[in-house]
Amino acid sequence: MTGRPLGNCTWECRYAHVEPSVPQKMVVYCLKIDSHTPGLMFYTTPRHAEWVEGKTETNRQTTRNFIRQSRQKHPKLAVAVNANSFSPWPAPFQQEDPTNIFGLAVSKGTLVSSSNTMPSLLVSKIGKLQIATVPADGDLLDVETAVSGFGLCLIDGEVPTTGEDQHPRTGLGLSQDGRYLFLLTIDGRQPSTPGATVQDVGNLLKKFGAHTGINMDGGGSTTMAWWDPTTEGEDKCRLLNTPVGNGESYDPRKATAPFAPTERATGNDLGVYFLETSIK
């Protein structure tokens, strides 16, 4: 992946926005993050203040609010994507309520959601990255951050065959040496693109340089956002992709208004920050 720096960032993050037409029209956004960048850290949504395992594990919030909230204290996040699937999903879609998330989640060394059979991205206390499935009784003492997805979409460089359903997608990929993390979103349910299959996620992660990849929560949850220091005003939080948080497919034949992005409050997000940040 060549890409370009994200904004005027001095840290090692390459950003690519591509729109392939094969196997179908897709609108793709990918961040390639060098885990060897000095001071780089990962962070995910912490426990709910009244945490109850399997019931009220986190508080739903939009990905941009996840970043905005972090900027008020520490960590000051630079970029983030949505992560684990969650339930319940009450209306309205942007409502920020307590929820239960599926699969392993660990925030700053604290267990947020227990492991099951879902594959996880694990970040150790010294910043080592790994994609693995952790057993229910697995040792988490060395895990600083963890998020989980539905299943592997890229296994040792090979893309397994999956279904043909097209939706917005979020994927996480890891290079073979574990150094580079790829954050991927694919838009869908809108005039520019219907979305992508899980197999598309694996193929794209592989093309960008990943060796192993996870298909994360997608659909209306798919969101990628960042803190853009070049934006005027106090709120510098910008969307990189175009989410459909309301979950609806836009049909211009039936629509009474032009298409516009909507943001869903999701169960948790994965973000990047720095001990000595270059993003102010």
pLDDT for 176 equals 98
Structure tokens at 235: 């709120």
Residue 32 and residue 180 in contact, taking contact as beta carbons nearer than 8 Å: yes
| All structural domains of the chain with their residue ranges | 4-274
CB atoms within 10 A of CB 227: 26
Structure tokens at 231: 């934006």
Whole-angstrom Cα distance, residue 93 to residue 205?
A: 28
* CA 183 distance to own-chain centroid: 6
3-class secondary-structure state, position 148: strand
pLDDT for 278 equals 46
3-class secondary-structure state, position 57: coil
pLDDT for 255 equals 81
Nearest to 38 by CA among 280, 274, 279, 270: 274
Whole-angstrom Cα distance, residue 270 to residue 46?
A: 11
φ/ψ bin of 248: left (φ > 0), alpha (ψ from -120 to 50), beta (otherwise):
beta
pLDDT for 5 equals 60
Residue carrying structure tokens 């290079």: 175
Q: How many CA atoms lie within 13 A of 68 on its CB side?
A: 11
Backbone phi, then psi, for 131, in 5-degree steps? -110, 125
3-class secondary-structure state, position 73: coil
Which residue type sits at 89? Answer: W
DSSP β-bridge partners for residue 69: none
Residue 226 and residue 167 in contact, taking contact as beta carbons nearer than 8 Å: no
DSSP β-bridge partners for residue 113: 105
* CA 18 distance to own-chain centroid: 18
φ/ψ bin of 178: left (φ > 0), alpha (ψ from -120 to 50), beta (otherwise):
left
Q: Going by C-beta distance under 8 Å and a sequence separation of 6 or more, which residues neighbour residue 23?
A: 200
Please report, in angstroms and rounded to a whole number, the separation of the first and last CA atoms in the chain.
Answer: 26
Q: What is the pLDDT along the chain (280 residues), one digit of tens a residue?
A: 555 566 555 555 788 899 998 888 999 999 999 999 999 999 999 999 999 999 999 999 999 999 999 998 878 899 999 999 999 877 789 999 999 999 999 999 999 999 989 999 999 999 999 999 999 999 999 999 999 999 999 999 999 999 899 999 999 999 999 999 999 999 999 988 999 999 999 999 999 999 999 999 999 999 999 999 889 999 999 999 999 999 888 888 888 888 899 999 999 999 999 886 444 4
pLDDT for 254 equals 81
Nearest to 83 by CA among 188, 221, 272: 221
CA angle 147, 150, 154 (to 5 degrees): 90
